[in-house]
Structure 1
Amino acid sequence: MMEINHFEYGWITPALSYALSVLGSALGLVCAGRIRAARSAGQRAWWGLLAAWALGGTAIWAMHFMAMLGFAVAGSRIRYDVPLTAASTAIAVVSVGIGLAIVGTGRLSAGRLLAGGLFTGAGVAAMHYTGMAAMRLDGVLGYDRTRVALSVLVAVVAATVALWLAMTVRRGLAIAASALVMGIAVNGMHFTGMSALSVHPHERSGDLTGAEVSGLLVPIVLAVVFGVVGLVYALLAAPTEDDRAGAAYLDARWAAEASPAVTPEPAPDPVGLRGRSTLGQPGTPFPSRRRTDPR
């Protein structure tokens, strides 16, 4: 069995992976909150897509790759199969998106939450082991079945909690606290799965195919940076409930000011004086004022 080191660079890679998972979780929770406030199916789909990218792409997959930078096997180089690596990204985003669609359509119930958590958790576990299968090294990968099952269970529980938080948490402090908890859950699942891994040497070694970590690091970091910036911009540019209320008030006020003035109707004439009086009508002379002689 070959020696494995999960923390080749010390605390740097786990700290960065935890920071990425917290950041992605916080953005995902905010985007999920916009799903509940959306007024149309198109808006719900848009915010669901952004939440899936934040949770699946940043909080889960980017965290996984950052943690893998600290993974090393003694006496072997490590390369990555690019198509399988890209497939692991798609699995993470799609599984989270489907989980959000399950719990976000209709009234939230225990059945929907369990179904969404089970599907998303299975997808997260599939993402993890697909990413591990993308590794190319001078050895054969082996897994302890008990720890693999434990990692899948952790993934399902973490996904269920994450979906519940995404549908219920609204305030800023609660979102921050929930993101910290979700970061612990995501990292716990990752390192539980990594503890199940063992590497056995090949009978014969050959040239490794695939991309080196340094070749994947730059495009992945750029994708994460632009993704986070895009998420923040989308959140800042989207109108809030206060903005909608203010716009509705201004529209109503403008409509009231732009409408023509209404001519008031004459007051009722109960005794019919207007009909009998000829005073002030055309051709009717005004009565003359005769001077009274005081003598």
Structure 2
Amino acid sequence: MDVSLAGKVAIVTGAGPNIGSGIALALAKYGATVACNDIDADAAKTAVKRIERNGGTAIAIPGDVTDEEQVKGYLQEVVERFGRVDILVNNAALLGGKGVLDESADFFRRAVEVAALGNFLNTKHIGRYMAEHGIRGSIVAISSSNGWSGSAGVIAYAFHKGGVNNFVRAAAMDLAPYGIRVNSFTPTAPTPDNPELIAERGAGGVLERPQAFRHGIGGATGTESWRRPARWTGERMPLVPMGTTGTPTDIGHCVAWLCSDYSRLITGCDFVVDGGARAKNFAYAPAAVADLAGPAPLVPLDVTGELDRELSM
């Protein structure tokens, strides 16, 4: 099966250095022209540079996904430049946060706003464009394992990712009459594989977070005597059945297929590429990573820079 997105034009929101950049690169490598959005103009431009050095075509369309006029503006820019839009990937989200006892109303409100209005406004206006022009397009929203099960320390993130899941199903029903498909993809703690991100932040790709995110997932947020730990902090047994949850490249392969005509009747569904992490029963302890065969070798998309050199070693 030769998946091809040749002739298609995609918009990817939140095309920052990790998952968003990986998806944008994958769409380009499979033949699409990609418009990279991010509220950080430099992040959008960096995603474009990554695509271009891998032989693809892309432009940066920085903007706030919660601002309706800005959404309409960058949609118009893409249409004027490339003549159409076939694919939308709603990836923009506000990461991090705190647990329910400590989160601020301001952070909670903004995190939910980015996810809710970001998905709604982009799906509304790009979906309307597709419907008006007879384009049987594909819209993919990026969810999270936190949207399907509970995790301490990220109450706002868990709330809005859960909302994304049902937004997808409802939007799929609204747009089905037009041949426009709406699905979601659920990442589970992917390992960064963007060479620029790895070079800047180290092999783990851990981002330096603003003050609002410093506590991390499940971290302690107070010193009161009544506090109890939210999660186990000691050494963990292996948790992923196949030994790894994958990378943004693994995500990109799946999203590209989901945006292709091979998935023409798939709508209102969620896709997971996580080595079996979400499917695992809570009481099941997988074998140690050293005892596993592991997945087949990664099919790389970024064929320049550090990633290419590491894979060739």
Does the pair score TM above 0.5?
Answer: no
Output the TM-score relative to the length of structure 2: 0.25
Higher relative contact order (CA 8 A, sep 6+): 1
